[in-house]
Each structure stands twice: as C-alpha cells, then as structure tokens.
Amino acid sequence: MTVAILEAVNIVKRYGKFIAVNGITLSVMPHTVHSVIGPNGAGKTTLFHALTGAVPINEGSITVDGVVVSHLPGYKRVLKGLTRSFQVTSLFPNLSVHENLRLAAQGRNPVQALHLWRSAESLTAAGETVDILLKRLNLSAVATRAAGELSHGQQRRLEVGMAMAGQPKVILLDEPTSGMGIEDIGDMKRLIHDLREEHTVVLIEHNMDIVMDISDTVTVMQLGQVLVEGKPDEIRNDERVRRAYLGSMTDGDSA
C-alpha cells in the first residue's frame, strides 16, 4: 500500500464565523492526477490557498512526502517540493519566457540567487532545466519574447511550466485551462497527463470534460466538506454529486 505524497488531515479554515473549509482530509497518491471539484462556494479555492500557504489554517496538518508544512509560508513550501500555478495568469510580463522559467527553476535553490557577484548564466543547472522545459512546453520558438506578449494559450502553458520548473514533488494547478480555446485545451490535457511520470498533480477544475478524462482520483467538495471521493466513473454516476451540482455543472467551458 503506497503512502500518500500529499496528506492534508482535518483542515479547518474559518473567516470569522464563516467556516470555509470544515474538516477536509485529502490523501493524494504519488504519480497520480487528483482533481478537486465542487459547486461554487464549496471551499475548493480556500483549500487550495491553504495547501499553497496563501492562507493560514486554523486546524489540521499538511504533509508533503512525510515533511510537515502546515505553517510554513508559501515560498518555503517550494523547497519542500510543493509548487503551484495561478488561475489568473501571473507571470513576469516584462521578462522573457526563458527568464521566467529560469527564475522558477532557480527558485528550487533560492540561496544561490543571493549571490550578488555571480551572473545568472553561471548557475548552469537552472539553464539546462529551462531548455528541456521549453521543448516540453512547446515554447522554444518564443523563448526570447516577453511573457506578456504571448497568446493566452501559450501563457497558460507557461503558467504550468513555472510550476514544473521547481522540480516539485506535488504540483497544485488552479484551473489551468481557464479561458483556453479548444485546440489549446488538448495540448494542456496531454501536458498535465504526462506530468504524472515525474510529479504528482492536484487539480482544481471546472471543466468536467478534462476532469473525467485525465484524473485518477476525484474528490468532490460541498460546503466546506468532502462529499464523495473516488474514480472518475464512480463520481460521474454518483447521485449525490448530481444533486450537489444541480445545474452548476459545466460541460466544456469554465463556469
């Protein structure tokens, strides 16, 4: 029985009297794509923020590959192997694509970035990672363009690429296909699916098509708690899930 690589146990997050996340336990197995879905207001985003360290949790624990990260600030979780992408594209718009990825790759070893006399190019490890990534993301052609000038689809791929560059154990993707056109979505699906080989992926998505297609496990949330969890086929046919969504389920576009 394999051990979960990301273990969130009994996470509680309160905003005053409102309990956004009410005792969620999530076990993510290594080298899987684990999706978290649920109607609006289910608490997915808050859970996501709790996992990335953007909001502090009131109760519970988060462990990555055996290491407790529950109260570490976001930037420290990267060193423990946890990276994220953003739902609203958040790149370095004035820097080149190559530089964006180099920074992300260097972020795995941020102490090196403190050297005020060494050039970035002399830290070759990051540079090699970047070249490989550029090919994989199909962005080699635009490597020297400013990230802000890319097409939306290219930017979304770069978003995922930034999360990959830090050689993480677990990648948290926040609606990676948001706003993407049909052709780009296909590429993104393949990219995420292939990530399983070297990493583990936790995905928040509204696009059911993608969720059902590429997930190994699906967790459905409702009102801050886990409603049901299982393989995509089980979830698709689950009566409780249908009732929970009741009209807010989307089928191709993001909500």
Residue 30 Cβ, how far from other proteins at the closest point, in Å? 21
CA-wise closest residue to 105 among 68, 87, 132: 132
Residue 49 Cβ, how far from other proteins at the closest point, in Å? 12
Residue 52 Cβ, how far from other proteins at the closest point, in Å? 7
Q: Largest alpha-carbon pair distance within the chain?
A: 62
Closest to other proteins by CB, 115 vs 243, is 115
Strands 217-222 and 33-37: parallel
Residue 164 Cβ, how far from other proteins at the closest point, in Å? 11
Distance separating the N- and C-terminal Cα atoms of the chain: 37
C-alpha–C-alpha distance, residues 100 and 231, integer Å: 35
Closest to other proteins by CB, 178 vs 215, is 178
Closest to other proteins by CB, 10 vs 140, is 140
Closest to other proteins by CB, 105 vs 221, is 105
Closest to other proteins by CB, 86 vs 245, is 86
Which helix (H) or strand (E) segment holds residue 8: the answer is strand 6-15
Q: How many CB atoms lie within 10 A of CB 17?
A: 5
The tokens 């509680």 sit on which residue? 12
CA-wise closest residue to 221 among 44, 8, 48: 44
Tell me which residues touch other proteins (CB under 8 A): 52, 73-76, 78-79, 83-84, 86, 90-96, 98-99, 103-104, 106-108, 110, 112-123, 144-146, 148-149, 162, 165-166
Residue 133 Cβ, how far from other proteins at the closest point, in Å? 13
Residue 202 corresponds to which amino acid?
V
Residue 213 Cβ, how far from other proteins at the closest point, in Å? 27
Closest to other proteins by CB, 110 vs 232, is 110
- DSSP structural state of residue 96: B
